[in-house]
Amino acid sequence: MSFAAGKPTRLLLVRHGATALTPEQRFSGSGGDDPALSTDGRWQAASTALRLAELGPVHAVVSSPLRRCRETAEAAAQQLELRVSLEVELREADFGAWDGLTFAEVRERYPDELAAWLAAPAAVPGGTGESLDAVTRRVEQARDKLLARYPGQTVAVVSHVAPLRTLVRLALGAPPESLFRMEISAASVSEVAYFDDGSATVRLLNDTSHLFEDPRI
């Protein structure tokens, strides 16, 4: 495959740092509580800010409006001497009644509903949640706005597991089931480059190399 000439638009995809729910791998969507970063999450955010500076120059920082992302983005913006722009379409999926539960708890309480969600992107989680099809539509809108707003520039995009997996999946042209085969760790960095001809390439996935040294030490 050949790519169009010219400087690509780079999206540096950052998952927010850890919250109290992260170590227990609980569903934490946009329809439940809005937790802050934990102590570990705050140092992860500081480390990620330094990593973004290495991958730059970064021209803009754009974040989901949820608190854990805003706090992660603010650490990056301070390091990069930029301001944070909020994009509501980058929020996490709404998991309905599953919010706050572990995967094992959902499997025990809602086995049929979970099986449907894993099998079909149109399935609605937690009774009143948001399907992966709906997440994909709004993430596509957010991506297209960023590409139009920042052509040829590098943008740090601070978001959540579902939106970030979706951006990678769309760049790869992979099927919906690939969402469940990607690891997007807390405070990880991935990168997608977009070219003028509409093509995209994934350059980095789930980089956590910056998290092995605590910046507080």
The residues carrying an active-site annotation are 16, 92
Q: How far apart are CA 182 and CA 200, in angstroms?
A: 18
Residue 74 CB-density burial (10 A; 0-12 exposed, 13-18 middle, 19+ buried): middle
Q: DSSP letter for 188, please.
A: -
Helix, strand or coil, per DSSP, at residue 207: strand
CA distances 92 to 61, 109, 118, 133, 204, Å, are 17, 22, 17, 13, 21
Contact between 22 and 38 under an 8 Å Cβ cutoff? The reply is: yes
Phi, psi of 44 (to 5 degrees): -60, -45
Residue 216 CB-density burial (10 A; 0-12 exposed, 13-18 middle, 19+ buried): exposed
Phi, psi of 62 (to 5 degrees): -125, 135
First to last CA, the chain: 46
